[in-house]
A and B are shown apart, each in its own frame.
Chain A
């Protein structure tokens, strides 16, 4: 406020340029738990009263004795609580979300959300007469056709609930395939690689297989000599990601497939990292028998805090009899569900899949078309290599393996040098990044790459976004060298501060629910 009564000038109205990094502060409402907000008698929503007599057939032993101790809250209180919590969450729509590598955090178009909120999707019952659901069946049928073209595979099931569920479905089909040939007892081993998603190993084990994990060779590619040692008459399948989480495409992938086939095994392609190769190379062209896509990654459906997602399991004609029931078929005039599949592995989830995400994925592919998919892939790869150039200019950062080789759609970096020089770990850097309105993920466990950071820029971010993200990393790394305590104690401008982790591993102190916390910690 001017006090000398002199006239204001345009210079007084001028706002200084933005600083190089935004002065972010995340919402921090200090919101209590729902249970602490309860006010007896309040109601959030009313229920229609029955216009028929109450039922009295339930025996006393099966009638609830005490009402559940749920909080009692009015409608605006519930809404406000959850909207505050929503503000304490960073979605793709808010941040430059290139830091969740392997997750393909691309833009989920809003128009596709409108489609799935339409009552002619949202309020369809899965057992309606097929004549009343021709539209949704046609969408599922068409989406399968598009994925067949993208992968070269002969048939797909769109039922798996997410990527890992699709891996499990593929493993189940592999098991059924060998059982039908009388080889189930003999072929009890599945081979995977350490840079493939842990669910490949875990699903194989769950389905009863022994797991053999291949480690990378000196250049970071899956070790072909180790594969030759591992295959044999007990090999049921190879489950492999390509490009792997390092971002390196395995140039000997055809040879991998050939070696496994020659041993009588099948090959399943985990296409979680397909975003950079759409229209460039296909699962079938490398000889795979099965593959799967994550529709919430490559095909844009929102990640929803960790699902609902959707998976798509693709197979060659030889494996098609084992696909889950039902499949969606078209007889030239009408779409229908085919449950008459005697060799099928059966049902893998209720009904026909995460249908809202099938609708979204279909709409996304249709909005891009074949050339658009390839453009998305190429720009994702361009963005990744551009960001890699910028990240590798930052002191203390490196991209282990195959120096100078391009990466496809992501890179697993290492802050090993920075950690050695500063004592600051990769996790600390990621938490400090949260103070600038973004974040990153390190790696799956075990950390084969020391002090890891995995970035995957997808096609959705602009050059300016990538420059900003790299500038944030550069600033955080600079702080690690010059003011390590600030990084080690981060976040400072996020919703909350570092929580104790030791209490989560001790049965006496962990609290998975409010009632457990009250009983064990508060002694109530």
Chain B
């Protein structure tokens, strides 16, 4: 069998030379510490290998052909993973071998990674109007879960109030993650309006021992709740922190949560130049003011700027490294490890390209499309938009009041190569539009729904 292209030293003569240099008779010598009782006594049972690239490409290509991407269909799916345009320069940069194949080197031979990630932190800092932003954690779920545990460590309190509609998957993650030290209290939104029940929030705060009031902007229903601006005062009066999860691509138009009193802001950077990739590309940001009590509670790496011994040269390093599990194992804050650094660089390139005008325009376009879709689809007989009075961003809820369920509507749309929204219940679904949708796309959906739901 020919030598595999990924394994240079499997050339028999090279192997012989290397064994001779070591003074070993065979590779088996190196496994002397592995007892016979746990040796795997047979070859691995796997399909025959596809050793040439041509064979491998044919096989994987055949599997990919069984997928239908959102370029081939018209999709109205969002719900935590959003279709946005990824500028060509973004892909050009993040596909560079130098970034793609590097790992955890020092700030000298990997200066580029440090600068690009420090710039990511800085760009997000401007977008969020906050002075501290982490090197991203895995995803928005982790960012929310960690932000809440940070709030717990800072306040020493036990209860966490979740006051806006939250994605059930994210809720599940948070529940698992905060369980050892916190009690989650879900304060349901008003079922008629989808809005925060402020009186219920106040009642829970009055019960005491609250570490954080957690809200999302937009909520899992796509609502940007006018009550968001009043929650900081309520939380602070009760000695709690105000933690807000937000969609960063909305912030050219929507006020950053720091502007209405948030203490910790978190979310997922997927909308900022990351392909949807079947929900596989994410990064979690956590931002705070530059106060020691906040900085000390981050588990993540925080890159910092520093002078070098050459004038005018930018150096980088780790800020307050001793708080991390890399430095002090279980005595650190939660843990830090490989997470989503390149996705952070991606989001940085995206923000550098978009600039202040681009971020404003994309926010305006998405809000305009969302409002148009809400209005247009609510005009369809048999469809209602129950929370339509509230401001929305990208996601919105539709209720199907006719004979067909939300799932049946999707089935009918699929026949037209349209992906309907995420089914929430028998009669409700969460639809989504972004800057990728045109008026014609929305009108086409409305036209088909007029036929389907009647």
Contact = CB atoms under 8 A, between A and B. Distances in A.
B252 A286 contact: no
Interface string A463-502: 1010000000000000000000000000100111111110
Interface string B332-359: 1011111111110100010111111111
Nearest to B422: A127
- 4 tightest Cβ-Cβ pairs between the two chains A and B: A499-B315, A369-B49, A208-B180, A351-B279
Interface string B89-115: 101110111111111111111111101
Contact of B278 (A136, A286, A434): A136
B410 to A, nearest CB: 7
Nearest to B341: A306
A358 B280 CA distance: 9
B207 interface: no
B439 interface: yes
Chain A interface size band reads 35 or more
Contact of B75 (A125, A134, A378, A519): A125
A498 B317 CA distance: 10
Contacts of B325: 198-199, 201-202
A67 B46 contact: no
Interface stretch (B156-164, B299-307, B398-406): B299-307
B34 to A, nearest CB: 5
Interface residues of B, number: 214
Interface in B122-139: 122-127, 129-133, 135, 138-139
Contacts of A165: 138, 142, 337
Contacts of A119: 69, 71
Given A44-B352, A63-B254, A367-B50, A113 B100 contact: yes
A354 B438 CA distance: 30
Contact of B44 (A150, A381, A434): A150
Contact of B365 (A48, A89, A132, A208): A48
B337 A199 contact: yes
A329 B245 CA distance: 33
Contacts of A408: 30-31, 33
Nearest to B128: A68
27 contacts: A43-B357, A44-B355, A45-B353, A50-B365, A50-B372, A70-B123, A71-B355, A88-B110, A100-B103, A108-B100, A123-B276, A124-B278, A132-B419, A161-B142, A163-B338, A202-B336, A304-B99, A304-B102, A305-B99, A306-B339, A309-B339, A352-B279, A367-B56, A431-B108, A445-B329, A463-B17, A514-B122
A517 B118 CA distance: 11
B206 interface: no
A439 B141 contact: no
Contact of B414 (A35, A129, A253): A129
Contacts of A35: 119, 122
A146 interface: yes
B428 to A, nearest CB: 15
Interface string A130-169: 0111111011000000100110100000000111110010
A208 B68 contact: no
Nearest to B14: A463
A169 to B, nearest CB: 9
Contacts of B129: 68
A334 to B, nearest CB: 11
Interface stretch (B20-28, B183-191, B444-452): B20-28
Contacts of A374: 43-44
A349 B179 contact: no
Interface in B248-267: 251-256, 259-260
A20 to B, nearest CB: 18
A511 B305 contact: yes
A371 to B, nearest CB: 6
Contacts of A253: 38
Interface string B24-65: 100101111111011110011111111101001101100111
A338 to B, nearest CB: 15
A232 interface: no
B47 A366 contact: yes
